[in-house]
Amino acid sequence: MKAARVLAFFFAVGFFVASDAAAAEAVATGDEAAPEATESRMAVPPKSHRVTWYAQALARGAAGINVTYFWSKGHMLRAETVVSGHKIVTIVRGDRYYAYDEVNRSGVSIRRTPEAVALDAPNRRPFGNELLILEEQGAEKVSEEDVMGRPCDVFRVTDSRGRRDLWVTRDELRIPLRVEVYDRSRSTKLYTDYVNWQSGLAISDDFFVPDPTIDFDVFEFEEYFRHATTKGPAGPVPILYADLLRGFK
């Protein structure tokens, strides 16, 4: 799935952080016991206290234009995008990372690292955290500009891999509105705009449960990582959000 690999480059939240990270002990397809057990160990507050978010990400570059839809409730995430006619769904819940192709009815189920799970919080978005990622990479504020009528701070990282520019709202939410990535090795630019940000939606927990009819390849984190670094991507779909699988390491 060449197109899927292209999309992974577009949307990898890690901004050139390897998306070959992977998972640990698997649960049976559709089994929610493991995620719920993890949530209870983390002392998650009542469901009514979990903040909900929705946004769209419009990415464009040499491969064309792609649109991804994001929903979150507390630390739970659901993301959907279409690549070459294949609808790729990513669900992150508790200690599991699921990614699957709704057309081919296949995907991967990977246990998240303790470092990734430790970042979960009921009032922290599991997506749209590009500023935290870029700060881990040494980003510095370079200017202030308005984007879509909103005052923004502009942050930049420049290194041997290229340049990453980020526009985030100048408020406590620090919502990303625009991302530009220059890949030095390919001499190409990728652009992503976040639009239609909404919060406070009523979303059922069931929306963050993977389709039980999907045929999942199940991996331990170390197993998946070893396969990805020695043989290439494991499973039928790409890992698009590496930070949710392995943290910022």
Q: Is 129 left (phi over 0), alpha (psi -120 to 50) or beta?
A: alpha
Nearest to 213 by CA among 60, 106, 137, 97: 106
156 token code pair: 């930049």
Distance CA 240, CA 88 (A): 10
How many CB atoms are located within 10 Å of the residue 220 CB?
Answer: 15
How many CB atoms are located within 10 Å of the residue 10 CB?
Answer: 23
60 token code pair: 């464009």
> Residue 180 has what pLDDT?
97
**Could you tell me the domains of the chain?**
2-246 (2.50.20.10)
Model confidence pLDDT, tens digit, residues 202-219: 999 999 999 999 999 999
Model confidence pLDDT, tens digit, residues 16-57: 333 333 222 222 223 333 333 333 222 333 454 689 999 999
Model confidence pLDDT, tens digit, residues 77-109: 999 999 888 999 999 999 999 999 999 999 999
In this predicted structure, the answer to whether residue 7 has a pLDDT above a threshold of 60 is no
